[in-house]
A = this chain, B = another copy of it.
Amino acid sequence: MDREDTLKRLKSIEGHVRGVARMVENDAYCIDLLRQIQAIQAALNKVSAKVLDDHLHSCLITAIRGEDPDERERVLKEISEVYEMTIKV
């Protein structure tokens, strides 16, 4: 169900990207292009936030409750890395 929602969002983002390509072909105003691209990025961010939330509620819980300290460390490190990549100025 959640997966269906994510797929629907990605489908819509794909169409949005195609729409921006059409705008480029029709010589749309640059600033309008930039605004549409920002809207696509906001939509992608929502997908990312959803995917991370799922991850925290599944893999992360499993890893932290599991017996393997290396696996736990690996999962925590991945989350830190994703966060660092996200905030990099």
Residue of B nearest to A6 (CB): B24
The total of chain A residues at the interface (CB under 8 A) is 55
- For the complex, give the distance between the alpha carbons of A12 and B17 in Å: 10
Contact B7 A38 (CB under 8 A): no
Report the nearest B residue to A11, measured CB to CB: B21
A50–chain B nearest beta-carbon distance, Å: 9
Most central of A6, A14, A42, A76 by chain B CB within 10 Å: A14
Query: What is the interface of chain A, defined by CB distance below 8 A to chain B?
Result: 3, 6-7, 10-11, 13-14, 17-18, 20-21, 24-25, 29-31, 33-35, 37-38, 40-42, 44-45, 47-49, 51-61, 64-65, 72, 76, 78-80, 82-89
